[in-house]
Amino acid sequence: MAVYVITGVSKGLGYEFLRQISGEPGNTVVGIVRDKATTVKKISEDAELKARTNIHILKADVTSYDDLKQAAADTAKITGGSIDYLVANAGRVSQFDPYDPISVLGEKPQELEAELNKLISIHVTANIHLYNLFMPLILKGKTKKVIAISSGLADLDLTANYDLDLSVLYSVSKAAMNMVTAKFSAEYKKDGVLFLSICPGMVDVGHYSNSTPEQLAKFGGIMEKFLKFAPHFKGADTPENSIPAVRSVWENASVEKGDGGAFLSHLGNKQWL
C-alpha cells in the first residue's frame, strides 16, 4: 500500500493517525515522538495496536536538526529508502495565549517572546528541517505527498472578518507554517510533490480540560464568533471523525488539480468548522 511518516504520534490526532492508517493492511507507519519509551509502552497496552508489526516508533525532538536527520536515516533503513506520505502533525498548543488579545499578552513581554519563539521553533523551523531532510525519501516514493496539520485560526480572512483576537501567537505560527509549506510547493511542484496544509476542524483532544471558569468565559466569546461564521457548528469533533476527513482531503488533492501549496479545511474548502 503506502509508507507514512508522521510526527507527534504519542497522543491526540497523531495517535489517531497512527491507529487508523496502521489498521489498513499493507501500510507501513513510522511515528516520530520525543518520548519513545512511553509511546511504545502505550502501544503495547493498546489491545488494537499492540499486535501490529507495521508500526515503527522513532525517537526525535522535532526542534533538533540532528534528531530529525537521524530519524530520516533510520526511516530509510526501515522503508528501503522511500516514503509516500510525510505528515507534519507535531505541534504545540500554547497555554499562554488562548484567552487574551495581543494587547494583554504584550503586558508580559518576556513571556510573549518566549512563547512565540517556542511556537515558531516547533511549527515553522522544525518543519523546514523535516521537509528538507525527508525530501530525498519523498522524491523516491510513489505518492509524493507532504501534509502540514494546520488550523483555521491561521486564516487571514477569518480573523479579519470575525475579529478573532485570541490565540494570537498560535495563529501567527500556524500561518507562518502554511507559508513555509507553500514555498516548498513552489520549489518541488515540478517534481510531482504535493505540499498541502490542512485544518482538521475543531477537535477535542483535551488541551483546555484544566481551564478555569474565567478562562472558559473568555473562550466563550470566540465560540460566539465561530457560530457567526458557521451557524451549523455544534461543538468540537472527535479525532476518530476528524482523521478520515483529513485523509480524504489529501487523497483527493493533487498537483495536477492545482492543489499544490493550498491551505484547506477537513472539508476540502475554506469552511473551517
Enzyme catalytic residues: 170, 174
On whether the CB atoms of residues 71 and 137 are closer than 8 A, the answer is no
C-alpha cell at 60: 526525535
CA–CA separation, 119 vs 162, rounded Å? 24
Q: Could you tell me the CA-to-CA distances from 140 to 131, 132, 134, 137, 160 in Å, in that order?
A: 14, 14, 10, 5, 41
**Which amino acid is it at 207?**
H
Instruction: Match 509502552 to its residue by C-alpha cell.
Output: 41
Q: Is 268 left (phi over 0), alpha (psi -120 to 50) or beta?
A: left
- What end-to-end distance do the CA atoms of the chain give, in Å? 31
